[in-house]
Copies of this chain bind each other. A is one copy, B any other.
Amino acid sequence: MNDVIKLLQSHRSIRKFTDQEIPRELLLSLIKAGQAAATSSHVQAYTVINVKDSANREKIAEYAGGQGYVASSAVFLVFCADMKRPTEASERTGANVERGMTEQLLVATVDTALMAQNVAVAAESEGLGICYIGGIRNNPQAISELLHLPDHVYPVFGMCLGYPAHNPEVKPRLPVEAILKEDVYCDDTEQVEAFDSTMQAYYQARSTGNKTTDWSHNLTPLFDSKLRPHMRDFLVKRGFEMK
């Protein structure tokens, strides 16, 4: 296993940070590393907002469900899928552009995620810790207003970055045999059940926040009809009409 793969394998979310700041030059280097990721048709359909305003950081921490590290991390970035820039660039060439296609939502969301993951890897290679904040989708409309996001731009997730002040365990993942299949999709219930035992042991043994649950039980909130049911209307209102 080479050093890069070791680095990738050592990822865990960091939620406690020291006071050490991230130099501007380093932040720019991380974003540029993000931009180097593959992008569909070279569209680069993303914008990153570096939220420095402390009042806004506090508000976003609250919207994200009381995640204090959104306010206290050295840097907090909001990764936005941005179809405004390329749409308008295309329009300036005289093209007749069609907005709001489902395909465009996918392209922009994937582009943003690929870019962000490069930022995460680059950050970790520099000794920083990171934590993705999907919780910004709890109240994406309020956050869009705070950040003055225009139509055709939506906040996909946030990311806290800073120097780690704790050292949590790496969380186990599903058996690779469940994830990688040959030629055709096949059932993996058996591997999931084995993984439930793995996760039960992990949750009981981990150094902080130990509890009695397993992977399958832990998923319940994700399938609750109350998990962010506003996302559809929000996206439509922002011009991602999913046509």
Q: Which chain A residues have a beta carbon within 8 Å of chain B's beta carbons?
A: 1-5, 7-11, 13, 27-38, 40-44, 46-53, 56, 80, 85-90, 92-93, 95-99, 101-104, 106-107, 109-110, 113-114, 116-118, 120-122, 125-126, 130-132, 134, 137, 147-150, 153, 156-157, 170-171, 173-174, 176, 178-186, 188-189, 192, 196, 215-225, 227-229, 231-232, 235, 242-243
Q: Report yes or no: A33 in contact with B49, Cβ–Cβ below 8 A.
A: no
* Interfacial chain B residues near A92, Cβ < 8 Å: 216
- Report which of B97, B181, B219, B223 forms a contact with A48, defined as CB distance below 8 A: B181
A102 to B9, CA, bound (A): 30
Report the bound CA distance from A29 to B224 in whole Å: 34
Please state if B216 and A173 are interface contacts (CB–CB under 8 Å): no
Given the complex of chains A and B, what is the CA–CA distance between A7 and B90 in angstroms?
31
CB distance from A98 to the nearest CB of B (A): 4
On whether the beta carbons of A102 and B232 are closer than 8 Å, the reply is yes
| Contact (Cβ within 8 A) B89 A179 | no
A231 contacts across to B, CB distance below 8 A: 101-103, 106
Q: Bound state CA distance, A40 and B126, in angstroms? A: 24
A2 CB, min distance to chain B CBs, angstroms: 6
- By the criterion CB–CB under 8 Å, are B8 and A183 in contact? no
The 6 A-B residue pairs whose C-beta atoms are closest, nearest first, are A4-B125, A113-B113, A97-B223, A117-B117, A98-B225, A89-B216
- CB of A121 within 8 A of CB of B41, answer no
User: Least Cβ distance of A160 to chain B in Å?
Assistant: 12
Q: Which residues of B sit under 8 angstroms from A228, Cβ to Cβ?
A: 101, 103
Q: Are A179 and B8 in contact (CB under 8 A)?
A: no
Question: Closest B-chain residue to A189, C-beta based?
Answer: B88
Identify the closest chain B residue to A144 (Cβ). Answer: B185
Contact between chains at A89 and B219 (CB < 8 Å):
yes
Separation of A148 and B36 alpha carbons in the complex (Å): 34
Once A41-B222, A185-B147 are accepted as A-B contacts, the answer to whether A1 and B29 lie under 8 Å apart by CB is yes
Instruction: Using known A-B contacts A106-B109, A173-B35, determine if residue A49 contacts B219 with beta carbons closer than 8 Å.
Output: no
Enumerate chain B residues within 8 angstroms of A42, measured Cβ to Cβ: 171, 215, 218
Given A101-B225, A147-B184, A223-B97, verify A121-B118 contact (CB < 8 Å).
Answer: yes
